[in-house]
Chains A and B, each alone.
Chain A
Amino acid sequence: MRIVIILVFLVGIFGVVSCENMFDYSPYAIDFTEENRNVNQRNIGNLAATDTDDTIKIAFTGDTHRFFDEFDGFAKDVSTNHSVDFVIHVGDLADFGLPKQYQWGNSFLLKLNIPYFVVIGNHDLVGNGLTAYENMFGSLDFSFVYDQIKFIFLNTNSREFKFNGNVPDIFWLEEQLKPSEYFTKAIVIFHVSPTEGDFDPSMTEDFYSALGKYSNVLFTVHGHLHHHEIYTPNSDSIPYINVFGVEHRKYNIIRISNKQFDVETVEF
Chain B
Amino acid sequence: MLKQWNFKIILIILLIWLVKGTDTFSQVSQYPDSTRYKRFLPDYMKLQFAGGIGFVSMGVGYTFFNQKLDVSYFYGYVPENVTSDDLHSVSLQVTAKLLRFKINENLEIMPLNVGGFIHHTFGSEYWLKLPEHYPPGYYWWAPGRNAGIFLGGEVKTSFLSNATPASGTAFYVRAGSRGLYIASKFGNASIHLNDILEFGFGLAVYR
Contact = CB atoms under 8 A, between A and B. Distances in A.
Interface of A: 1-2, 5-6, 9, 13, 16, 22-31, 66, 68-69, 71-72, 95-98, 100-101, 104, 108, 126-128, 130-131, 135, 159, 162-163, 197
5 contacts: A5-B155, A16-B199, A27-B178, A96-B180, A127-B125
Closest 6 CB pairs of A and B: A23-B50, A127-B143, A24-B198, A29-B83, A68-B188, A72-B190
Nearest to A158: B133
A130 B189 CA distance: 28
Given A1-B107, A24-B51, A159-B133, A30 B85 contact: yes
B126 to A, nearest CB: 6
B126 A26 contact: no
Contacts of B135: 197
Contact of A97 (B78, B143, B181): B143
B198 A127 contact: no
B135 to A, nearest CB: 8
B30 interface: no
Interface stretch (B16-24, B52-60, B67-75): B52-60
Nearest to B192: A104
A27 B190 contact: no
B84 A100 contact: no
B141 interface: yes
Contacts of B95: none
B27 interface: no
Interface residues of B, number: 53
B54 A26 contact: yes
Most buried by A among B173, B181, B184: B184
Interface in B11-70: 49-55
Nearest to B175: A22
B190 A108 contact: yes
B97 to A, nearest CB: 17
Given A24-B198, A108-B190, A128-B123, 14 more contacts: A2-B106, A2-B159, A13-B173, A23-B198, A30-B83, A31-B82, A31-B84, A69-B188, A95-B184, A96-B184, A97-B143, A128-B125, A135-B84, A159-B134
A140 to B, nearest CB: 16
Contact of A69 (B76, B131, B173, B187): B187
B191 interface: yes
B199 A26 contact: no
A24 B186 CA distance: 20
A24 B50 contact: yes
A127 B125 CA distance: 5
A147 to B, nearest CB: 33
Given A6-B157, A29-B83, A126 B139 contact: yes
B50 A9 contact: no
A25 B77 CA distance: 8
B87 A29 contact: yes
Interface string B137-181: 001010100100000000101010000000000010100001011
A30 B188 contact: no
A5 B56 CA distance: 24
Given A9-B171, A25-B83, A96-B141, A68 B134 contact: no
Contacts of B196: 100
Contact of B190 (A5, A69, A98, A131): A69
B183 interface: yes
